[in-house]
Amino acid sequence: MNKTDRKVLKRNPKDRLAKYGVNASLVLVSLAFVTPLAWLVFASLDRNAGVSSVVPESLTLQNYEEIMRPDVALLPIWNSLLLSFGTAFLTIFISVLAAYPLSRYKMRFNQTYLYVILFSSSLPITAIMVPVYSLFVRLGQLDSMLAVILFMSASSLPFSIWLTKNFMDSVPVSLEEAAWVDGASTATTLRRIVVPLMTPGLSVVFIFVFIQAWGNFFVPFLLLFSKEKETAAVTIFRFFGQYGEIAYGELAAFSILYALPVVSLYFVMSRSLGGSFALAGAVKG
């Protein structure tokens, strides 16, 4: 008793000092990370925002009102939605199809295919943009939203199949077998049993693909031309790529509006990630 007390006493000052140090450095890092963000938020609420403005004299939502017009922010955001939802749905659909045989059947081919997939998931997409553009020219698919969705899906597929397969692995075959005995088909069990059981996992994959498509600038920048098909990232680039007279406040408001959906999706994802881990645990247990 006495001994431990002394030990606690001896450790405390040093530990407390270390803890202060750690806390202080974390506060510094936080400050560094929050500063550029703070400008963005303040500028979006400041009608007269410039690069050098800090805290606005009066807060207003006027910047948001200004950009909430079809030709400014709404159409580009709609296009981004179209692109991201299209990509995410298509990716999920193809991933589930591909994951089933990879997860359920023992074939030598599976191992190879999984390695190919893992391999291509780490290839840098920007490296192939020049040939992709040239290929789109050859296929006559420039300025086609469908083709861009297909390309974006293909580039998300490797990672998505990999994740989907892993989630599917954790759904026990025994559940399916029971249904098969009752005369259900593979497709039925896939649709009625497997997919519902891995909904949390699939929503993670969905959100993941969606966020990637939503944030992508390079692909639509290079492959879509019409104003009517312009996505939000490209519009923002066009706004501030001009250097001249940038409406900083409106651009900041647009940026925040554009960032909101993905930030909220991250929160949803962190929830359902917890959920799918729970599922994995339940299955193992």
Partner 1 sequence: MISTRNLKRRLPILPSFLMLALFMAGPIVWALYISLTNTSLTGTAAQDSQFIGLDNYLTMLGDPDFPNAVWLTVVFVVGSAIIGQNTLGLFLAIGFRSASKAIKKTTSALVMAAWMLPEIVVAFAAYVFFNTDGTLNQILLSLGVDPIAWLFEAPMLAIVLANIWRGTAFSLLVYMAALDDVPEEITEAARIDGASSSQHLFLVTLPIIKNSINTNLMLITLQTLSVFTLVYTMTRGGPSGKSTTLPVFAYDQAFRVADIGYGAAISVVMILIGVIFSVIYLRLLRSEGDKNE
Partner 2 sequence: MKSKKTILGASAVALLLVGAVSGCTASSEEATSVNSEAEQKTIKVSYLVNDGFKQLDDLFNKVKPEFEEKNPGVVVELDPITGTDSDYTTKLSLMHQDPSTQPDVFYQDSFLVRSDVAAGYLLNLDQYVSEWDEWDMFDEGAKGAGQDASGSVYAISMGTDSRGIYYNKPVLEEAGIDLPWQPENWDELMADVRQIKESTGEIAFNTYSGNGAGEGAVMQGFFMFLYGTGEDPLFDNASGKWVIGSQGFRDSLAAYETLFQEELAAPVEEAADGNMWQKVLGPWIKDGTVAATIDGSWVPRMWGSAGGDFEWPEYEDEIGVAYMPSQDGGSKVTLSGGWTLALGSETEHPEEAFAFLTEALNYENALKFYVDNAQIAVRSDVAQDEAYQSANKFVPFFTDLVSSTNFRPATEDYPRISIAVQQATDDIMFGNKTVEEAAAAYDQAVIDIVGEENVIRK
> Which two tokens mark 210?
């969606």
Distance, CA of 152 to CA of 136 (rounded, Å) = 13
Subset of residues 150 to 169 that bind partner 1, contact rule: CB under 8 A:
150-151, 153-155, 157-158, 161
User: CB of 256: closest distance to partner 1 in angstroms?
Assistant: 8
Q: Binding partner 1 by CB under 8 A: which of 37, 268, 278, 283?
A: 37
Nearer residue to partner 2 within complex by CB, 13 or 140: 140
Residue pair 46/56 in contact (Cβ under 8 Å)? The answer is: yes
Residues with Cβ within 8 Å of 61's Cβ and at least 6 positions away in sequence, in order, are: 45
Phi and psi dihedrals of 175, rounded to 5?
-60, -40
Identify what 244 binds: partner 2, partner 1, none; CB under 5 to 8 Å per kind.
Answer: partner 2
In the chain, alpha helices (H): 2-44, 62-67, 75-104, 108-121, 129-139, 145-169, 173-181, 186-189, 195-197, 199-215, 218-223, 232-241, 248-284
Q: Binding partner 1 by CB under 8 A: which of 17, 26, 55, 278?
A: 26
Subset of residues 209 to 248 that bind partner 1, contact rule: CB under 8 A:
214-215, 217-218, 222, 233, 236-237, 240-241, 248
Q: Long-range contact list for 173-176, CB < 8 A, 24+ apart?
A: 173/104
User: CB of 144: closest distance to partner 1 in angstroms?
Assistant: 13
Distance, CA of 70 to CA of 98 (rounded, Å) = 39
Residue ranges binding partner 2 (CB under 8 A): 90, 93-94, 97, 100, 133, 137, 139-147, 150, 184-191, 222, 225-227, 238, 241-245
Residue 267, SS3?
helix
Please report whether residue 113 would count as binding partner 1 according to CB under 8 A. Answer: yes
User: CB of 226: closest distance to partner 1 in angstroms?
Assistant: 18
Residue pair 202/163 in contact (Cβ under 8 Å)? The answer is: no
Q: Binding partner 1 by CB under 8 A: which of 6, 8, 119, 178?
A: 119
Burial class (CB in 10 A: 0-12, 13-18, 19+), 165: buried
Identify what 82 binds: partner 1, partner 2, none; CB under 5 to 8 Å per kind.
Answer: none
Phi and psi dihedrals of 184, rounded to 5?
-75, 155
User: CB of 129: closest distance to partner 2 in angstroms?
Assistant: 12
Please report whether residue 203 would count as binding partner 1 according to CB under 8 A. Answer: no
User: CB of 136: closest distance to partner 1 in angstroms?
Assistant: 10
Distance, CA of 285 to CA of 279 (rounded, Å) = 10
Subset of residues 170 to 189 that bind partner 1, contact rule: CB under 8 A:
none
Please report whether residue 30 would count as binding partner 1 according to CB under 8 A. Answer: yes
Nearer residue to partner 1 within complex by CB, 164 or 203: 164
Identify what 282 binds: partner 2, partner 1, none; CB under 5 to 8 Å per kind.
Answer: none
Stretch that binds partner 1, among 60-68, 69-77, 92-100, 197-205 (CB under 8 A): 92-100
